[in-house]
Amino acid sequence: MSETTTAAPAATLRTYAEMPRVGLLETLRALLGGKSERIDMLSRLQRLAERGPVVAQSAGPFKMIQLFGPDANRLVLLDRERIFSARRPWMMIMGRIFPNGLLLRDGDEHKLHRKIMYEAFTRPALRQYLERMNPMIDRGQAPWRAQTKPFLAFRGFKELTLDIAASIFVGVELGPETTKMNQVFEDLVAASMSRIRLRIPGLEFYRGLRSRESMVEYFTRRIPERRAGQGGDMFSRLCRAVSDDGARFTDADVVDHMIFLMMAAHDTTTSTLTSMTYELARHPEWQDRLREESLALGKEHVDFDDLETLTGLGWAMKETIRRYPPLPVIPRVATESFEWDGYRIPADAMVVVSPIHTHHMEEWWPDPFTWDPERFRPERAEDERHTHSWVPFGGGPHMCIGLRFAEVQVKAIMHQMLRRYRWSVPAGYRMPVQQAPISKPLDGLPIELRAI
């Protein structure tokens, strides 16, 4: 029997028809991603949760069910009974642009691919990535010094993280090839969020499809030389990666993983860096505190072994992705029926858990809308009150494989920025946030950036 919070006999379980629910129009607005839904997803989820921990969303024959709270996160993300498919919902959302990425695989296939891919995320690999990353961050941030008007932080971070992804992931040096690749990935991300998904010239979805085709050709052509070489970039590592039992990626596997990883790596990191920059601008006492921490390290570039010593920066990052989780909701499709909180959840229903909602539940996070990095101090450890109350990287078999890479990149970029600049926002300014499909500022986050 699947994990459940009740011991009720099957005869007393309530059915899908008996669940609290919202109407068809509201469901369609959520599914189609109307502007208001993207901007303030949290408020909608909080309204739904007021109806109970299990809420159905009417969509004709398509069944969509929201499960709320850390217990639900644990059930769905750990997936001990192996009944939740990640592939089925994500294929509906991004399958034509990013098919067969690690997130879009299930079961034994996912387990095998993750095992092979781990070679690209070991500590020695991360150490090498950081060594290559540091001078790129230096070069990328240096031009910011010349800004004479408010600096759009989101654009600055996006350009920097795309350059890093092109170099660290693909082994491409800065130049025209990187610029072209960056534009391609902007088109891919835009297409993955398109509402009109038709191959019609001029539409962003068409540009995304063409961009994917160009990246497939780009990576496929270079695989033989990367398999034969000794390159330290992620592309080369995936080409050579071998599991303990001798399994390797096919050429198509390498291509699919590279395209998805590059998108995921730069987009989520850009989101986190931007949100952290905003909160540090609003909390200058924390900006000064973290600057002192980085200056005390006595190094322009952070080394891999230094990362754990930047404890304040680590708390600030964790609190930022609590308030602004890059992935606000996590969908799955139930491959068989299961019990939860007194209900029988039917097979083939889309089951959605919501990190952004859990991260703002007062019973787990006192004063949840206050940005307070000290929540993560060992003395408070609010994130340890439940194993799944803080889930910005998901959990279980599909826990983000790149979470350590993200931490390395965010800390390395923020360390140099703190040593090089001070920044602020006008009194009373509040960053207008689009919470879905990924957290980002609607205005680009203009900041006053001053060289130290």
In tens, the pLDDT along 72-126 reads 999 999 999 999 999 999 998 889 999 999 999 999 999 999 999 999 999 999 9
Q: Which domain holds residue 223?
A: 10-451
What pLDDT is stored for residue 38 in this prediction?
64
Within a domain: residue 4?
A: no
Within a domain: residue 272?
A: yes
Percent of the chain with pLDDT over 90: 77
Within a domain: residue 123?
A: yes
Within a domain: residue 5?
A: no
Residue 151, both tokens: 């600096």
Within a domain: residue 391?
A: yes
What pLDDT is stored for residue 222 in this prediction?
96
Within a domain: residue 1?
A: no
Within a domain: residue 2?
A: no
Indicate the number of domains in the chain: 1
Q: pLDDT of 60-72, one tens digit each?
A: 778 999 999 999 9
Distance between CA atoms of 403 and 399, rounded to whole angstroms?
Answer: 8
Q: pLDDT of 201-234, one tens digit each?
A: 989 999 999 999 999 999 999 999 999 999 999 9
CATH number at residue 208: 1.10.630.10
Band the pLDDT of 356: cuts 50, 70, 90: very high
Closest by Cα among 30, 106, 3, 21 to 65: 21
Distance between CA atoms of 234 and 243, rounded to whole angstroms?
Answer: 16
pLDDT of 238 over the 90 cut: yes
Q: pLDDT of 169-211, one tens digit each?
A: 999 876 777 778 778 888 887 888 777 888 999 899 999 999 9
Task: Determine how β-strand 54-59 pairs with β-strand 21-22.
Answer: parallel
Helix (H) or strand (E) holding 228: helix 204-228
Within a domain: residue 389?
A: yes
